[in-house]
Amino acid sequence: MKTLYIHMGMPKTGTSAIQNFLNKNQDDLYQLGYIYRYMPFHDYKKNYTRVVKTRNGYFLHGWRKDFEDYDQAENERRLDEGLHILNQWFREKDNIILTDESIFGFLQKWDFMDRVKKFADENGIMVKPIIFLRRQDESVSSLYRQMVKVSMKKQESYTDYMKMKKDKERYDYNIPLFYLRDLFGTEQVKVIVYEPAQWKKEGTNIFHYFFRSIDLPEDNGLKLPGKSVNPSISHNVCEIKRLINHIDPEVSKENRIEVNNLFRDACDQCSIYSPDPEKLNFCTQEESRAYMNSFADSNRQVAQEFFHRDKLFSEEISDYRMWERDNPQMLPDVILYFGLVTSSIYEKLLDQQRKLDRIRRWFPSYWFQKLKRLIKRIKNR
């Protein structure tokens, strides 16, 4: 039967790693009967700068120029265009994979998934949504660090961020999951709890669960990524970058992006050289426990419906400890971070110097100066 697999998030649950894997294995997946391709839409970057082409399911939740400006008509037109393309792809293979980490969070904003269901029923297609769920306090912390890393906007502290947070309903997982269940059936909705530490103990990884979700054997011979993609930055680095974001460089928009990329790359490098200790959190255990208790009923409902148990997440809050700004590693991380930034700037300057030298060789004055220096050396002998 024709099957449409929709990997729909959540963010910071290894989505970039999965998209990187799919991207590197397009041809081999095709030989195994699966199509994963880019959508031929060229205006994502114009409206939303962080959309990469590997997110081929982006059309399933709509895009926006900013978080307040939604274009309903344009989004509906793009959805129709995307579904038409899927129909063409199904003429080649019976399995299609779409992926985008933001679909799950937008299920309640549009009726797009209802229209996907209608399209699937009309064309004899089975839809299998795939969702990785992360414990809510971990998810918020990881998303906060991602927001600080990718942006140059002023950011409040994590404590203030949590006080201001208004989208708490997005973490009530039962609402979107039961909506998907009612559309496609419990057996078709593939829910995986994102717990890398637990997977490591079990000798598995995210691809083990993803392969099972798309009905692909584990011994499929496909190439797995050699390194992590878009990793979470450490808590120390997050605080360093948060303070840097309060600087307002007087540069053009294009150069501002370049400046931010410089600091962003240093975030990733520094976090690799100096990673967090295990089980570190921005919150106290009491704050995490209070936050998680607000989702107790929702998590229990999801656990019972999709896992036939009462507990959704296995890791205990008591295993975590709170990050503090004046920790002993903070100063070494500050030195390391700005050492990496300085090194990166120096490499860019050297690269520009090499390019300039190549350009100079086209001018007679360059060779005239070389000749003068040669004559001078000869005379001095």
Rounded to two decimals, what is the model's pTM? 0.86
- The per-residue pLDDT for range 355-379, each reduced to its tens digit, is 887 777 777 776 777 777 878 777 7
3-state secondary structure the chain: CEEEEEECCCCCCCHHHHHHHHHHCHHHHHHCCEECCCCCCCCHHHHCCCCCCCCCCHHHCCCEEECCEECHHHHHHHHHHHHHHHHHHCCCCCEEEEECCCCHHHCCCCCHHHHHHHHHHHHCEEEEEEEEECCHHHHHHHHHHHHHHHCCCCCCCHHHHHHHCCCHHHHCCHHHHHHHHHHHCCCCCEEEECCHHHHHHHCCCHHHHHHHHCCCCCCCCCCCCCCCCCCCCCHHHHHHHHHHCCCCCCCCHHHHHHHHHHHHHHHHHHHHHCCCCCCEECCCHHHHHHHHHCCHHHHHHHHHHHHCCCCCCCCCHHHCEECCCCCCCHHHHHHHHHHHHHHHHHHHHHHHHHHHHHHHCCCHHHHHHHHHHHHHHHHHC
Average pLDDT score over the chain: 88
Give tens-digit pLDDT for 293-341: 999 999 999 999 999 999 999 877 877 889 999 999 999 999 999 999 9
Beta-strand relationship, 69-70 and 64-66: antiparallel
Q: Give the model's confidence band at 255: pLDDT under 50 very low, under 70 low, under 90 confident, else very high.
A: confident
Domain boundaries, given as residue ranges, for the chain: 2-234+276-327
Task: Report pLDDT for 178.
Answer: 96
| pLDDT > 70: percent of the chain | 91
Tens of pLDDT along 206-219? Answer: 999 999 999 998 88
**Per-residue pLDDT tens for 145-199?**
999 998 888 888 898 888 766 566 778 999 999 999 999 999 999 999 999 888 9
Contact 315, 292 (CB under 8 A): no
Determine the topology of domain 2-234+276-327 in CATH: Rossmann fold (3.40.50)
In tens, the pLDDT along 88-110 reads 999 999 999 999 998 998 887 77
